[in-house]
Amino acid sequence: MEALKHQPEFSLKDWINSMKGYGFEIKRNIKIILLVIIPFLAYYLYKTFSSPVQYIARATFMLNESEGGQSGLASILGQFGLNAPGQQVSLQKIVEIAKTRRIAESVFFQKVKINNLEDYLGNFLIDELVRTNEWFAKAILKPISPLRSFRFTHGEVNKFSETENMALQQLHKLFLSKLETGFNEKTGIMDMATRYTDQNLSYLVCIHLFNQLSTFYINKSVERQQETFDNLQHKVDSLRDLIYRKDYSLANIKDTYRNTWLNENTVPQIQVDRDIKVFSILYGEALKNLEFASFTLQTQTPFIQALDLPIIPLEVKKEKFLYNLGKAIAIALLMSISFIILRKIIRDN
């Protein structure tokens, strides 16, 4: 207890003196601060004036799903402008699908025309990445990289060579770095944006990405219902053709034996007539099932509604001089002052 009583107490005066000491130390080492600020300032100024202008193509859209497939909870929440958990999963699923390589491949191998040149969209993306020095992971490997002058010559991904697969993976990785996606949980509105230094390229990538994403999601959402509908349609068509053939067969039998009064000659006619009646019943049932399958397909097919698609001229993004200037000074001050204070603490102790 005596030892605790004699321990020195840290008063407000000591704290003020300590702060004055740190302030004097910072003032005395102002040269260190300037030496740190100068390279940071030079870097951020270089970044400001050397970075190319980027064009942002932004699309916003929403998902319309059948109300018949929603639960009572979803309907109640919808009245208050809220989304049910199932719909939030659908929104998240769409956003994640947009980032998959499968969707990217369908975008890369679309034939487009930019500046009077027609080629795969993927090749235009490679040209863009080469111009911005992003195509190669490391500049030192540029002269020996197998992707140095690579361009896609066909879009059959299942027949790609190892080098083509390498280029596809590299392009997809860089494609994702230029893609922004998200959704609002309250409104259910999704958005995505692409940014490139070529305005036409950014616009086309965004448009094709939205179209491919919409088509893929809708087709996969009703794939089972579509298969059922197609099978029933095939069955109905087959039964209709069979009934038509039986009708002609019956007419031919009647024409052949129209002057004959033997009972045994009427047997083929009776058999064909019976077949026609059986097939007609089956045809009616198949037609009814087809109508039900068509109704199910229509009611369960989701619809991705575009709200705002990009239009030219696009939004322009460029480095902000004052923002980068302030950022450079703030980082340099933080690092240099931290170094000076830490050095004083170590030296005093």
What tokens does 279 get?
């097939």
Q: What is the pLDDT of residue 3?
A: 47
* Region of poorest pLDDT, from 41-55, 182-196, 326-340: 41-55
Given a cut of 60, whether residue 284 has pLDDT beyond it is yes
Looking at the chain, the whole-number percentage of residues with pLDDT higher than 70 is 67
**Residues contacting 63, CB < 8 A, separation 6+:** 87, 90, 91, 94, 188, 190, 302, 303, 304, 305
Q: Which residues of 306-320 are buried (b: 16+ CB within 10 A; e: fewer)?
A: eeeebeeebeeeebe
* pLDDT band at residue 77 using 50, 70 and 90 as cut-offs: very low
Q: What confidence tens digit (pLDDT) does each residue in 208-265 have?
A: 999 998 888 877 766 676 677 677 777 777 777 777 777 777 777 666 666 555 555 6
Domain locations in the chain as residue ranges: 13-49+323-348, 53-222, 225-300
Q: How many angstroms separate the CA atoms of 172 and 160, rounded?
A: 15
What tokens does 64 get?
């319309």
Q: Does pTM top 0.75 for this prediction?
A: no
* pLDDT band at residue 79 using 50, 70 and 90 as cut-offs: very low
Given a cut of 90, whether residue 72 has pLDDT beyond it is no
Pairing of strands 189-196, 54-64: antiparallel
Q: How many angstroms separate the CA atoms of 73 and 70, rounded?
A: 8
Q: What is the pLDDT of residue 76?
A: 44
Q: How many angstroms separate the CA atoms of 312 and 161, rounded?
A: 37
